[in-house]
Chains A and B, each alone.
Chain A
Amino acid sequence: MTPPIADATFAESAWVMVVKSLVIFAVIFAIVPVLTVIERKALGRFQARYGPNRIGPFGLMQPLADAIKLIGKEGYRPDNALAFLYPLGPALVVFSGVTVLAILPWGNVQEIGDGPVGLYGIDVSIGILYFFAFSAFAFYGLLLGGWASGSKYSFLGAMRSAAQLISYEISMGLALLGAIMMAGTLSLTGIVAAQDDVWYVIPQFLGFLIFMVAGFAEANRAPFDLPEADAELVAGYQTEYGGMRFGSFMLAEYLEMVVISGVAATFFLGGYMGPGPGWLDPIWLLVKTLCLVFVFFWVRATLPRLRYDQLMSLGWKVLLPLATLNVLVTAILVTVL
Chain B
Amino acid sequence: MSDTEFPYLKDTEVVEVQRGPEPGGVKGAYRAFRESARGLKTTMGRLFEGPVTIQYPEEKTPVYPRFRGRHKLHRFEDTGLEKCVGCSLCAAACPADCIRVVAAENDPADRVSAGERYAAVYEINLARCIFCGYCEVACPFDAITMGHEYELADYNREDLVFTKEMLLAEPLERTPLRREGE
Contacts and interface: CB of A to CB of B under 8 A. Distances in A.
Q: Do A and B bind each other?
A: yes
Interface of A: 42, 44-50, 298-299, 301-303, 318
B46 A50 contact: no
B65 interface: no
Contact of B50 (A48, A301, A302, A318): A48
Contacts, number: 36
Interface in B28-43: 29, 36, 39-40, 42-43
A50 B36 contact: no
Contacts of A45: 46-47, 50-51
Contacts of A318: 29
Nearest to A322: B29
Contacts of B44: 46, 298
Interface residues of B, number: 15
Nearest to B48: A45
Contacts of A48: 46, 49-53
Contacts of B50: 45, 48
A47 B46 contact: yes
Contacts of B47: 42, 45-46
Contacts of A303: 36, 39
B12 interface: no
A48 B50 CA distance: 6
B2 interface: no
B79 interface: no
A46 B51 contact: no
Given A46-B47, A47-B46, A318-B29, A298 B40 contact: yes
Given A47-B46, A302-B39, A303-B36, 12 more contacts: A42-B47, A44-B51, A45-B46, A45-B47, A45-B51, A48-B46, A48-B51, A48-B52, A49-B51, A49-B52, A298-B43, A302-B36
B40 A299 contact: yes
A302 B53 contact: no
Interface of B: 29, 36, 39-40, 42-44, 46-47, 49-53, 55
Contact of B51 (A50, A298, A301): A50
A45 B53 CA distance: 10
A46 B43 contact: yes
21 contacts: A45-B46, A45-B47, A45-B51, A46-B46, A48-B51, A48-B52, A48-B53, A49-B52, A49-B53, A50-B51, A50-B55, A298-B40, A298-B43, A299-B40, A301-B43, A302-B36, A302-B39, A302-B42, A302-B43, A303-B39, A318-B29
A303 to B, nearest CB: 6
Contacts of A46: 43-44, 46-47
A326 B37 CA distance: 21
A47 B49 CA distance: 10
A154 to B, nearest CB: 31
A299 B49 CA distance: 18
A50 B43 CA distance: 14
Contacts of A42: 47
A46 B49 CA distance: 9
Contacts of A44: 51
A44 B49 CA distance: 12
Contacts of B46: 45-48
A299 B41 CA distance: 10
A318 B31 CA distance: 13
A302 B40 contact: yes
Contacts of B29: 318
Nearest to B39: A302
